Structures are given as structure tokens and as C-alpha cells.
């Protein structure tokens, strides 16, 4: 197995490149899927030297909710600031930014993120630099994705407003594969 790990890791890293969407200079959506979560669980089991059924089940329970179910996209939303002081100021200004993230499929209405279903990551003083988002598509949006409609993403926050439209075809195709 150790000989296969570098090859598998390289495949996952290449796959992840088709699922990363920058939105402005300091925000990125990292869209998750079954392949990425398989790798993540394997890495956590390896790093933690977890071999018992209970430990494996615990890791699966933690990561399985991040796998899209055919009618949605799930993403890790990261606010990325290299400078610690700049990050501290920005996170204080970007309260509830996770509620202002959207996806647009073709000419359909925007799909607003459902954020942090596991726990609230924003306090009265600041938001977190990491959020977990779900974008639930209706039948019209799913059909548009399957028909090859363009996909765009954006953030409409008073302190941070950017769009990435349309997404590059390799990213659109990768996200489209998640929809049944």
C-alpha cells in the first residue's frame, strides 16, 4: 500500500484543482466530493494510526456529511489572509459572510449557501476563517447543470463583494458530475 499512496495522492491533488474556486483575492470555495473525502479519511486514519472499527466509524461520521448527495454541492469556504493582523481585522469586519455566498446556474435564481450546519462558527466579534457550506439545487437548476449551463459563484457582503462568473469549463464539468 505505501507504494500506491503517492500515486493516489497525486490523483487527488489533480482532482482537487478542478474543484477550487477563488472568489476575490481572499476567499476560496473548495468543493468536496466522495473521492476527496475518501482520501481525507484515509489520511486521517493513517496519521492517527487508527485501525479499530470504532475509530474508523468516527472518522467516517465526521467526513461523510461533506459528500454531496446528487442534489447539492458542499464546499469548504476559506477566508485566506497571509498576514495575521490583516486576517484579524478582516474576520472582525466579515461577520456572517458565510450567509452571503451564492451559486448561480445559467439563468436560474441564485442558490444561497446553507452554512455551518454542524455548529456556528461566527461569534459576536468575528467570523471564522473556515466555514462549511451546502448549496441545495432545485429541479430546474439540476436540469440546467446537466444540460451544460454555466455556473458562477459570488459573495455579496457589504465588506467583501466579488463574483467568479462563469466558472472555467473544467470546474463546471467537475461540479456537474456531482448532480444527478
DSSP 101-164: EEEEETTSPPEE-EE-SSS----SS---SEEEEEEE--HHHHHHHHTT--EEEEEEETTEEEEE
Residue 54 falls inside a structural domain? no
Residue 166 falls inside a structural domain? yes
Residue 5 falls inside a structural domain? no
Residue 60 falls inside a structural domain? no
Of the candidate ranges 86-100, 115-129, 154-168, the one whose mean pLDDT is the lowest: 115-129
Residue 12 falls inside a structural domain? no
pLDDT the model gives residue 119: 73
Which residues does 127 contact at the CB level (< 8 Å), separation at least 6?
79, 91, 94, 95, 96, 97, 98, 121
Q: How is residue 78 written as a grid cell? A: 476559506
Give percent of the chain with pLDDT exceeding 70.
94
The CB density around residue 70, as the number of other CB atoms within 10 Å, is: 10
pLDDT the model gives residue 60: 66
Whichever domain contains 139, its CATH number is 2.60.40
Q: Which residue has the higher pLDDT, 174 or 47?
A: 174
Query: What is the tens place of the pLDDT at every residue in 31-90?
Result: 999 888 777 777 776 777 767 777 767 776 666 678 889 999 999 999 999 999 999 999
Asked whether the predicted pLDDT for residue 124 surpasses 60, the reply is: yes
Domain count, the chain: 1
Q: How is residue 115 written as a grid cell? A: 452554512
Query: Can you tell me the mean pLDDT for 97-122?
Result: 92
CA dihedral 129, 24, 37, 63 (to 10 degrees): 30
Asked whether the predicted pLDDT for residue 105 surpasses 60, the reply is: yes
Q: How is residue 87 written as a grid cell? A: 486576517
Rounded to whole angstroms, the Cα distance separating 74 from 132 reads 7
Residue 148 falls inside a structural domain? yes
Residue 136 falls inside a structural domain? yes
Nearest to 91 by CA among 132, 119, 131, 118: 131
Residue 102 falls inside a structural domain? yes
Give residue 75's domain range.
Answer: 17-32+69-176
Cβ atoms of residues 154 and 104 within 8 Å:
yes
Residue 1: which pLDDT band, with cuts at 50, 70 and 90?
A: very low
Amino acid at each position: 500500500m505505501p507504494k500506491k499512496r503517492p500515486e493516489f495522492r497525486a490523483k487527488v491533488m489533480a482532482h482537487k484543482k478542478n474543484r477550487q474556486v477563488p472568489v476575490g483575492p481572499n476567499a476560496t470555495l473548495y468543493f468536496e466530493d466522495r473521492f476527496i473525502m475518501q482520501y481525507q479519511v484515509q489520511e486521517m486514519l493513517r496519521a492517527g494510526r487508527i485501525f479499530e472499527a470504532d475509530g474508523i466509524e468516527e472518522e467516517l461520521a465526521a467526513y461523510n456529511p461533506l459528500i454531496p448527495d446528487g442534489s447539492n454541492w458542499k464546499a469548504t469556504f476559506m477566508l485566506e489572509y497571509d498576514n495575521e493582523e490583516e486576517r484579524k481585522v478582516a474576520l472582525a469586519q466579515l461577520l456572517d459572510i458565510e450567509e452571503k455566498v451564492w451559486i448561480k446556474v445559467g439563468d436560474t435564481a441564485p442558490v444561497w449557501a446553507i452554512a455551518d450546519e454542524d455548529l456556528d462558527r461566527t461569534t459576536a466579534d468575528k467570523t471564522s476563517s473556515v466555514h462549511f457550506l451546502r448549496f441545495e439545487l432545485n429541479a430546474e437548476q439540476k436540469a440546467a447543470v446537466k444540460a451544460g449551463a454555466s455556473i458562477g459563484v459570488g459573495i455579496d457582503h457589504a465588506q467583501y463583494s466579488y463574483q467568479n462568473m462563469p466558472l472555467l469549463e473544467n470546474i463546471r464539468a467537475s461540479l456537474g458530475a456531482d448532480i444527478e
